[in-house]
Amino acid sequence: MSKSLAASHSQGKHEPDNIFGVNAAANEKAKIVGKENIVNASIGAFLDPQGELITLPTVEKTMYSLDFKDAANYAPIAGLPDFIKAAIDVTFGEHKPDAYINGVATPGGSGGIHHAIWNYTEVGDTFLTSDWFWSPYQTMAKEMGRKIDTFTSFSEKGNFNVRACLGKVAELAKVQKNVLLIINSPAHNPTGFSLTDEEWEQVIAGLKELIEKGQNNIILFVDIAYLDFAPPGSRKFFKLFSQLPASFLVIVAFSMSKGYTMYGYRTGCMIGISSDKDIIDEFFNINQYSNRGTWSNGTRSGMQCLVKLWKNPELMDQVNKEREEFRLSLENRARTFLDEAKEVGLEVCPYHSGFFITVPTSKPDEIGLKLQDDNIFIVPLGRGLRIAVCAIPAEKLSGMATKIKEAKDLLGG
């Protein structure tokens, strides 16, 4: 055994950077066969047909127009007050819940997930999410000494499995006071699934029913990292978070990473929603405290960029227009892949919108490797292959479903 100085809970922690690994393999192969012949479906960012990152021109202009003396300064620990206001505003739009609402700036959405797990579950507790989920939830669970449990994501008809979700919640509520439930919708990573407004209504009704028994607190964490790439109308469900019981806290994680193409600026805001002022004051205080005790303050330039856009509706309109163009091209890419998948009989998880489509399989690693022979590079998940349609232009997507189907048929699974 190799020598270790780590504390007992930290020994053996190791997670090779999977996505960067597949990406590196794609780049190696590109040197041999030429970049134009490679389909690199590993990157979780929106790329143009040349494989360059797509950024919103107005965001770039705004970022680089910030007075450096302002951008370079420290932000307050909880974030710039105007940033918090702006984040709340652009998140909810016209569908702001009727409730006490406040926010705390975090590095992207990740920081908010961290704080929610840390501050609203006990050490050793379990939290819940759907069985298709963004794998860092698992990393965070282990990092903080928590456990993750999942429910079946989809019903047989390919809808959100409300019954399975509420069933798991009820089960956990028997052994744990605080039940933290993470739902990543709309445009779920990795499947592209979104709950309908009716499904949200059912979930919330079920959670309220549980709370009325008086034994539990519910913390519903809504990961909306891909919200801005879901179709218009995708914000209506926020209104359902109005006037919930005091023991029912909703946290919505706003992030500028995808919607403003500011991935590397680490700018987000966890937004708390409650009918009870005490709960929201506590939300602000304990998460501000966790900021100070974890990473101190956040990226001021990212915050100022949002503030500047928010204070100038013309600029914000421009950002929204620029983004809409990309959203439509993303829709087009997804349709290309999905139509072909249907044609050749390749099963995919229910997809509505977003950066990724998932092909379920029991042999993700084998099939992923096999596809590399065809110059297709895909990130294998625990039980599927994640196709980053965000990263592949439509012309390279055509033929891909067929090749995946062939590899699946060849290897089984």
Site for a copy of itself in 291-310 (CB under 8 A): 292-301
Figure out which of the listed residues 8, 36, 157, 313 binds a copy of itself, where binding follows CB under 8 A.
8
- Look up tokens 């909306």; give the residue: 224
Figure out which of the listed residues 38, 39, 78, 404 binds a copy of itself, where binding follows CB under 8 A.
78
Interface with a copy of itself, residue 247, by CB under 8 A: yes
Please, what is the angle between helix 364-373 and helix 400-411, to 10°? 120
Interface with a copy of itself, residue 114, by CB under 8 A: yes
Closest approach, Cβ 290 to a copy of itself, in A, equals 6
E-strand stretches of 123-255: 126-130, 147-151, 178-184, 217-223, 248-255
Strands 217-223 and 178-184: parallel
Structure tokens that stand for 236 in this block: 């209506």
Count of H-run helices and E-run strands, the chain? 14, 11
CA angle 358, 359, 362 (to 5 degrees): 125
> Which range in 52-60, 154-162, 221-229, 349-357 contacts a copy of itself by CB under 8 A?
52-60
Interface with a copy of itself, residue 10, by CB under 8 A: yes
Q: Which of residues 199-228 bind a copy of itself (CB under 8 A)?
A: 217, 219
d(CA 112, CA 24): 29
Figure out which of the listed residues 123, 156, 214, 313 binds a copy of itself, where binding follows CB under 8 A.
123
Closest approach, Cβ 253 to a copy of itself, in A, equals 12
Interface with a copy of itself, residue 110, by CB under 8 A: yes
> Which range in 92-100, 118-126, 353-361, 400-408 contacts a copy of itself by CB under 8 A?
118-126
Residue whose C-alpha is closest to residue 102's, from 215, 251, 325: 251
Interface with a copy of itself, residue 27, by CB under 8 A: no
> Which range in 51-59, 162-170, 306-314, 327-335 contacts a copy of itself by CB under 8 A?
51-59
Q: Could you write out the DSSP letters of every residue in 203-233? A: HHHHHHHHHHTSS-EEEEEEE-TTGGGSPTT
- Look up tokens 């705390």; give the residue: 104
Interface with a copy of itself, residue 25, by CB under 8 A: no
The 3-state DSSP class for residue 63 equals helix
Q: Which of residues 353-392 bind a copy of itself (CB under 8 A)?
A: none
Closest approach, Cβ 109 to a copy of itself, in A, equals 9
Interface with a copy of itself, residue 147, by CB under 8 A: no
Contact predicate 188/224, CB 8 Å? no
Q: Which of residues 164-183 bind a copy of itself (CB under 8 A)?
A: 178
Closest approach, Cβ 258 to a copy of itself, in A, equals 11
Interface with a copy of itself, residue 158, by CB under 8 A: no
